[in-house]
Amino acid sequence: MGSLGAVLRHPDDLYPLLKLKMASRQAEKQIPPEPHWAFCYSMLHKVSRSFALVIQQLGTDLRNAVCIFYLVLRALDTVEDDTSIPTDVKVPILIAFHRHVYDREWHFSCGTKEYKVLMDQFHHVSTAFLELGKGYQDAIEDITKRMGAGMAKFICKEVESIYDYDEYCYYVAGLVGLGLSKLFYASGTEDLAPDSLSNSMGLFLQKTNIIRDYLEDINEIPKCRMFWPREIWSKYVNKLEDLKYVENSDKAVQCLNDMVTNALMHVEDCLKYMSALRDHAIFRFCAIPQIMAIGTLALCYNNIEVFRGVVKMRRGLTAKVIDRTNNMTDVYLAFYDFSNILKPKINKNDPNATKTLSRVEAIQKACMDSGVLNKRKSYIIQSELRYSSTMIVIFFIILAIIFSYLSSTRAKDHHHL
């Protein structure tokens, strides 16, 4: 539920954390009875709990389509990510993957942990895919085909220029944005969004992940994975892996700031995309990951810890984002607040300081121009309060009651089984 220390420092995280925990348990209970759908939704919970939670609010047909779309692309990604697969084996699988989804017998053993289970039992995903409406199937097949071809291209090609970087991100994430827009349109609930905006939605999330996951990717065994473009990192070091060494800390942070500045260019497109959505469940589905991305960039900016370990938002703040994101007012407030966290970190001596400041101010202007910023208090930027020993005792009593309740509920669930 989040570390005890974090909850003690932020007691108002407790209620959203509890709501998230209970919603997660409720979502797990709603897994369909049919074996292939049960596998798909169980697998979704294993590979991405937060994603599984957010899609629960979508209408049944759209939810099933998005679930299968996600698992198909996860499987495709598992093939791409497995550095132990020889290139001459990997490339044909990536290129033909869009055809495998129609084959109930196809599977390919690769990946680790839950991803290996997904690949070994991929026939469940294919069976579920074949039950989707034709409009959903066509959209998933089209995006899978284009993404597989793009991944195959970059298996044999380094990310050299910023153009390459944008192209790679388009193949692995921009196409996800285009595909989701097609699924929303096929459901009859949304207009078809412009490709450029759908692409930006994907690129903003993907670039955030690439920045945050530097250390994990560079330490990948048996072969490191390099997605930061040479055009950016070569301004600071001779080799991309040099950024992780302590002696290069100053250059590493400057390179990191350059990467974050590049990612921020997509924010205004993302705000436009979200502001056009009409369906509440689709809106939340799209908006929550975008807010998480701007929050993660605000934490990563000017932070050497990106090269030492994992930098991510605390669980309680994530729970608040999930709980409190309901309309564009919430989105504008969150983007404004997180850009306010990033802004004071900009060092005037940083090589990209002027460009970063310009991008942050453009985001803040877009949020201010919405005219909603004075309507609500921030839950993201708060003064650190000092809590008395009495409050801490009360907190522990509440925590004990909650755990007693959850334990008794779990015991009842087992009894019913």
Active site (annotated) includes residue 168: yes
Q: What is the pLDDT of residues 238-285, one digit of tens each?
A: 999 999 999 999 999 999 999 999 999 999 999 999 999 999 999 999
Confidence of residue 7 (pLDDT cuts 50, 70, 90): low
Which of 212, 284, 314, 359 is catalytic? The answer is 212
**Pair 303, 311: CB distance under 8 Å:** yes
Which of 49, 63, 104, 225 is catalytic? The answer is 225
Which of 285, 301, 332, 336 is catalytic? The answer is 285
- Indicate the SS3 state at residue 211: helix
> Looking at 3-12, 81-90, 335-344, which range is the least confident one?
3-12
Give the dihedral sign, CA 319/324/328/331: negative
Q: For residues 158 and 228, give the distance between their C-alpha atoms in angstroms, rounded to a whole number.
A: 10
Is pLDDT above 70 for 409?
no
Output the pTM of the full model: 0.87
Q: What is the pLDDT of residues 42-92, one digit of tens each?
A: 999 888 877 777 888 898 999 999 999 999 999 999 999 898 899 999 999
Which of 51, 97, 168, 301 is catalytic? The answer is 168
Confidence of residue 338 (pLDDT cuts 50, 70, 90): very high
Instruction: Show Cβ contacts of residue 138 under 8 Å, excluding neighbours closer than 6 positions.
Output: none
Q: What is the pLDDT of residues 203-212, one digit of tens each?
A: 999 999 999 9
Q: Span 322-331, mean pLDDT?
A: 93
Q: Span 5-25, mean pLDDT?
A: 69
Of 150 and 10, more confident: 150
Active site (annotated) includes residue 225: yes
Average pLDDT of the chain is 88
DSSP state letters, 71-103: HHHHHHHHHHH-TTS-HHHHHHHHHHHHHHTT-
Active site (annotated) includes residue 39: no
Instruction: Show Cβ contacts of residue 306 under 8 Å, excluding neighbours closer than 6 positions.
Output: 211, 212, 214, 215, 256, 300
Of 389 and 138, more confident: 138
Q: What is the pLDDT of residues 149-162, one digit of tens each?
A: 999 999 888 899 99
Is pLDDT above 60 for 386?
no
Is pLDDT above 60 for 415?
no
Alpha helices in 156-194 (DSSP H): 162-169, 175-186
Q: For residues 350 and 254, give the distance between their C-alpha atoms in angstroms, rounded to a whole number.
A: 6
Q: Give the model's pLDDT for residue 1.
A: 47
Q: Domains of the chain by range and CATH?
A: 27-157 (1.10.600.10), 187-379 (1.10.600.10)
Q: Give the model's pLDDT for residue 53.
A: 78
Q: Give the model's pLDDT for residue 222.
A: 66
Q: What is the pLDDT of residues 303-320, one digit of tens each?
A: 999 999 889 888 888 889
Active site (annotated) includes residue 122: no
Q: For residues 278 and 45, give the distance between their C-alpha atoms in angstroms, rounded to a whole number.
A: 27
